[in-house]
Structure 1
């Protein structure tokens, strides 16, 4: 009987050691632009099927084996696979290349600091001009890239705008000059470098002209 008990005890210890062999508590961080945490992103070990979610700092912990592969997913972002390393990992997620992907990420609670995200996207847009030549006119560009702006035959309306002038149409500025709606429709799309939408709260410098917000167009000069 004594001999049997010893055999069982040794066998149990061997099983526990085998389960823990090679496993590590892998720590990582999911971010945008080196500083904006991606919150509640799902992190899945593709080998074991175990998963966890990032916290408000974008951090997570997951028990893994070295060289396991993790899948990181968050709505509005491109998913990404990484390999488990002994020193943890910083993973940069990139927004999907479609209009409104930043809003999808925010609505799903993945980005808490929306101001930092907007500043990052603005700086990124400034550093690399887009090619709008495939569009027929500037109105089509605005509809595609700025869903909060509505267009009719008379002008553009930024959601949330209100005016003392009797209408809800936004002011239009091209290269620093206020113009009418027809001028916006006639501008060659290949010449457009950037389109910026200023809401009512952002257009105080325009006085009464900015009461309904401003659509700013910058061209390649």
Structure 2
């Protein structure tokens, strides 16, 4: 009888812990900083769907050990586990490959006019075997038309420099980096590469005037 009561007590404690309600806030973006408008956040425990506002922000009600699924037209959906201490959750969605997905992303107003994605090309490792290339130079020049490597710098055609320097800005796993660091990445470790220019790169200010090369690595997820 004592064991049964103990098991019931533990079950009740576990159940009440799972069902404890909390408020979680956050933001849904693309390419680290572009806010996604009207992105859907599905909460598993309640089957409720919330939407992001004009700045990509959201506020949801969920349990302390919940799961949410974040999705937006033209982007790869992502599932996130809510932890006990989670108060603010930033979700960065990846654009699906193909021109039709760029059109889809903008057609459903997920991306504001000022953050147009027409100048972005993104390639994920699920559509390309990066390890088949000998180095990052081959990856970039072989898959991104208009991109060249000159004097140890990445140069993207038709970008306007305000500083006299033609080098594109390099971002690796969300941080500004150097060509030397980029060259040290093994091609088998590449998860995603995106090239931005024009309006889509303007969020980086004058630093993005020559375009931006964004690289996500597999170790960056760890």
Q: Tell me which interval the TM-score lies in, with the shorter structure as reference length.
A: 0.3 to 0.5
Larger RCO: Structure 1 or Structure 2 (Cα < 8 Å, ≥ 6 residues apart)?
Answer: 2
TM norm structure 1 = 0.45
TM norm structure 2 = 0.45
